[in-house]
């Protein structure tokens, strides 16, 4: 064969969009999770690309089956981050030639329906598009006894709006600027955030130690706290800009969650434009003071503000 012009410089493969729902029945009280799982593997798999040799290929169908089997057998199935960690540890320990596993779990929202003020034992409602996200990477390149993991959790598609406590003033102006300063505007965004969780340094990473790791970290508790902090700062902050509110939010999370070493936010600025009603003799707060009551919600373009805030070492 003639010399090829290129070489394989990266290779990773897996199964995406593995959808699975698990019910755990605790007598009459049921728990349910619905996940969308992505499995990606790296390792000694070059020849499957370069020599058409499938011997090293753990079929993506096998990965899908593994997710389903683990949904049944894993004691961590109700915690999406621990479940992801369990799967990642499985793939790198089960297969000698697989050195890295990347598991993403997106968790769909099923909240208990309240009946007479009480959460129902087995009935749930999809109360919003919000999803929890977990992204776990396990690296076994230093050996199967020296596993390293990176664990990120977060949420996305959480839609929020505030109708007071948001200004945007004193921004840079030049010949391209038309935007007026405003003391009072609507602020709406679709929250996406992702934070890095430091695993306990004194517990070695293994499937057997997952219960201890889970107990030590409390992923569910952290997820609730991050969500609550994010909503509270959004509500309470006297916002000078999306940027400033985002930064304040991240600082609040870092101070309330010691296990988080870094947090990233993405806030699209979903603009609501005050409608000019002057043709109808109606005033609608178009000036600096704001106070508009009728807005046009614009789909596009939207601002997009992102930031990562990392804990001082």
Ligand X SMILES: O=c1[nH]c(=O)c2[nH]c(=O)[nH]c2[nH]1
Binds ligand X by CB under 6 A, chosen from 10, 52, 179, 299: 179
Would you say 269 and 243 are in contact if contact means Cβ atoms under 8 Å apart?
Answer: no
DSSP character at residue 206:
S
Would you say 239 and 166 are in contact if contact means Cβ atoms under 8 Å apart?
Answer: yes
CA angle in degrees (0–180, nearest 5) for 68-72-77: 95
Catalytic annotation present for 271: yes
Token digits of residue 197: 């969780």
Please, which residue, 197 or 305, has the CB nearer to ligand X?
Answer: 305
Specify binding-site residues for urate: 60-61, 168, 185, 242-243, 269
Please, which residue, 194 or 241, has the CB nearer to ligand X?
Answer: 241
For residue 239, the tally of other CB atoms under 10 A from its CB is 21
In 3D, which of 217, 32, 247 has the Cα closest to residue 121?
32
Instruction: Select from 211-219, 225-233, 235-243, 284-292 the region that touches ligand X (CB under 6 A).
Output: 235-243
* Distance in angstroms (rounded) separating the CA atoms of residues 5 and 7: 7
168 scored as a contact of ligand X (CB under 6 A)? yes
Active-site position among 30, 31, 60, 121:
60
Please, which residue, 298 or 310, has the CB nearer to ligand X?
Answer: 298
Which three-class secondary structure state does DSSP give residue 262?
Answer: strand
Instruction: Select from 77-85, 149-157, 227-235, 238-246 the region that touches ligand X (CB under 6 A).
Output: 238-246
In 3D, which of 197, 195, 14, 17 has the Cα closest to residue 88?
14
Binds ligand X by CB under 6 A, chosen from 77, 105, 151, 242: 242
Residue count at the site for ligand X (CB under 6 A)? 7
Instruction: Select from 195-203, 210-218, 237-245, 250-258 the region that touches ligand X (CB under 6 A).
Output: 237-245
- Residue carrying the six token digits 């320990």: 93
Would you say 206 and 147 are in contact if contact means Cβ atoms under 8 Å apart?
Answer: yes
* Distance in angstroms (rounded) separating the CA atoms of residues 104 and 92: 15
Catalytic annotation present for 189: no
The secondary structure of the chain in percent helix, strand, coil, rounded to multiples of 5, reads: 25, 35, 35
Binds ligand X by CB under 6 A, chosen from 66, 241, 248, 264: 241
Please, which residue, 230 or 241, has the CB nearer to ligand X?
Answer: 241
In the bound complex, what is the minimum distance in angstroms from residue 310's beta carbon to ligand X? 22
249 scored as a contact of ligand X (CB under 6 A)? no
269 scored as a contact of ligand X (CB under 6 A)? yes
Please, which residue, 200 or 285, has the CB nearer to ligand X?
Answer: 285
Catalytic residue numbers? 15, 60, 271
Interaction site with ligand X (CB under 6 A) = 168, 179, 241-243, 269, 303
């Amino acid at each position: 064969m003639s010399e090829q012009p290129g070489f394989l410089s990266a290779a990773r493969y897996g199964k995406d969009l593995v959808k699975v729902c698990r019910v755990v029945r605790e007598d009459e009280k049921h728990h349910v999770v619905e996940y969308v799982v992505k499995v990606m593997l790296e390792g000694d798999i070059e020849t499957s690309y370069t020599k058409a040799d499938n011997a090293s290929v753990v079929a993506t169908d096998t990965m899908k089956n593994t997710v389903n089997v683990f949904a049944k057998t894993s004691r961590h199935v109700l915690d999406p981050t621990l479940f992801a960690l369990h799967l990642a540890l499985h793939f790198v320990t089960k297969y000698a030639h697989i050195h890295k596993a990347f598991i993403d779990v997106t968790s769909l929202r099923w909240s208990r329906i309240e009946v007479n003020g009480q959460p129902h034992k087995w009935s749930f409602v999809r109360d919003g598009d919000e999803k929890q996200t977990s992204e776990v990477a396990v690296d076994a390149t230093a050996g199967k006894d020296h596993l390293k993991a990176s664990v990120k959790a977060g949420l996305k598609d959480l839609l929020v709006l505030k109708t007071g406590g948001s200004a945007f003033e004193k921004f840079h102006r030049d010949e391209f600027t038309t935007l007026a300063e405003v003391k009072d505007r609507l602020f709406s965004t679709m929250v996406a955030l992702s934070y890095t969780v430091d695993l306990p340094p004194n517990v070695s990473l293994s499937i057997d130690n997952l219960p201890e790791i889970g107990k030590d970290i409390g992923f569910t508790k952290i997820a609730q706290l991050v969500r609550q902090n994010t909503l509270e700062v959004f509500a309470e902050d006297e916002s000078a800009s999306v940027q400033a509110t985002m930064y304040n939010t991240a600082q609040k999370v870092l101070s309330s969650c010691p296990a988080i070493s870094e947090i990233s936010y993405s806030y699209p600025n979903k603009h609501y434009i005050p409608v000019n009603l002057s043709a109808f003799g109606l005033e609608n707060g178009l000036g600096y003071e704001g106070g508009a009551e009728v807005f046009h919600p614009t789909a596009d373009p939207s601002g997009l503000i992102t930031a990562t805030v990392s804990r001082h070492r």
